[in-house]
Structure 1
Amino acid sequence: MTATIHRIGRATPPSLDPLMTLVAEDMNSVNAVILDRMQSRIPLIPELAGHLIAGGGKRMRPMLTLACARLIQYMGTRHHKLSAAVEFIHTATLLHDDVVDGSGMRRGRKTANIIWGNSASVLVGDFLFSRSFELMVEDGSLKVLKILSHASAVIAEGEVNQLSAQRRIETDEEQYLDIINAKTAALFAAACRIAAVVAEKDEAQEQALDTYGRHLGIAFQLVDDAIDYASDEATMGKDAGDDFRDGKVTLPVILAYARGNDEDRAFWRAAIAGHKISDDDLAHATALLRRSGAIDDTLARARHYGQRATDALGIFPASKAKDALIEAVEFAIARAY
């Protein structure tokens, strides 16, 4: 892969540090809400939830809510509980995803379903979803409730769509984009949009933040799908090639299959069907992806969506918050390099 291009004047690779510094004080309040609301008189619930919540995730989605609130100069505190609600939705979906995928590793640690079993993981995921809705109701805004509840439904639809596409090599790019728009981008978009709602900003600013989050989410997922074939467990926090072994038809595979000869296509049909999942098969798949330009072109799409995310912030004046949000996009893309 070629080197990524940073903004003129940047001497170092892009980082989430500016975003984390910007929202550090607010995140302390959000973390306090998370810690309080994941408690239960049933000890297994905070034990299992805490394993994932404390597992080294960047908390990117709640940080986006906080940073967008800072961007539009919101001075209240409603976004603290709502950021916690966003994180609970995300954590619940991760618990459910790991059960569906049979995942063994996340963020470099054993998944909850491996330690406590599938049933406990699903039920604690349900508990966290319920907590998120309690927090939304406490906020009192029907519009916020509508945005986040709709995002939750869309995420579930995306997961079912992905399940129906699993091991189906004929999955096309349109369905793939529908899947990632739902399972990843919808929560990014909602997390950003609700900041404008609590700040009582106009529809144009709401839409701009929604667009920023949505395109950042798509870019983020495109990069994840590319580096599944081009990275390692230390970088990904999961085993390289998990998507390949799970029979997930992601954009790199769709492009490589479309561009392959008869022999290449026969390999992809067998691999996605689950008949070729060895390390040698993964190495061959990666070679086909590189030869066809599928990984490079997937990352080019990610840069395109990243630029659209950045462009959406154009209506907002210059500020540290705007710079941090733009650098978050650049960081999302740079993870591949």
Structure 2
Amino acid sequence: MANKDALQTHLFLSCMLLAAVTQVTASAKVPAVIIFGDSTVDSGNNNVIETVLKSNFEPYGRDFYGGRPTGRFCNGRLATDFISEAFGLTPTVPAYLDPAYSIKDFAVGVCFASAGTGLDNATSDVLSVIPLWTELVYFREYIQRLARYMGKARAQRTIKEALYLVSIGTNDFLENYYLLPGRRLQFTIEQYEDYLLGIAGDFLTEIYRHGARKISFTGLSPIGCLPLERTLNIIGGGGCIEEYNQVAARFNAKLAALVQRLRAELPGLRLVSAQVYDLFADIYRNPSSHGFESAENGCCSTGLFEMGYLCDKRSPFTCADANKYVFWDAFHPTEKMNRILADHSLQTVLAEFL
């Protein structure tokens, strides 16, 4: 009898523990994924604006569902798509400006990002893309639309519990500071880093004021090792531009400090920094350990300088299997690399939100 009572007690406690774990897991889930940033996360907003920076044509999207180009700068899905799916939400996060989607779709996932943009408004001017602050205008509009769709109270809960993914900054350096003279005449490189992080702080504070609490801001990769930058590094024999990598590493350290400061200043803010620099650096050093054959050039065309319209489906050089490559074009990761990036974030900084 005692053994029976003990067994019943054990089963009861086990069920209670399972219920508690299930409840915690369910309460930790996020109701929506909301995305800001540049081409690393743009799912098609640039399709509908007047800019030369587009990717809504083949061979982009050749490994996406149905082999369809969507405006993602990739052969398939983005890291943000995989993250959304991991949270039990949509496996592809739609672009806010895509007329094929409605507020019903956006209620569980929405992307405001624009390829070619940056923290600095001057960066978005280079290729006439959407400035970060216009992405914020769209976000405010989205909040109003969401309230009309599901009611104000439910919309407020969605905005508060949603996961916000921000990926931006590379273009500020490679497309703006190092390419054009304007900002170099105004700032030293370290001053420009501080200028950008000041904008990042203002932006994060603003979306916090609109209700955002769970935010991940992705740090920079070793930007001097992108295929395009290697191609331009003629003097360095096609190797990585270490000066750019040092800038990225320093920017990331300052970003980490900004994250800590904002967490201390803004009550309830759960801001994290998704650091991908070391992951990329490790893959560059030993691509085969991650299942890649090439980390120096992209799959599309020669993979040395092509992206956007230069990534031509008629190129005889485009690789047959993008899974062997870290990069799809000369600037953007393949779907396989995006999955690795998503898994890395989910296992590290995003784990607390799962």
Confirm or deny a common fold (TM above 0.5): no
**Bucket of the pairwise TM-score, normalised by the shorter protein:** 0.3 to 0.5
Higher-helix-fraction structure: 1
| Richer in strand (by share) | 2
Identify which of structures 1 and 2 has the higher relative contact order when contacts are C-alpha pairs closer than 8 Å and 6+ apart: 1
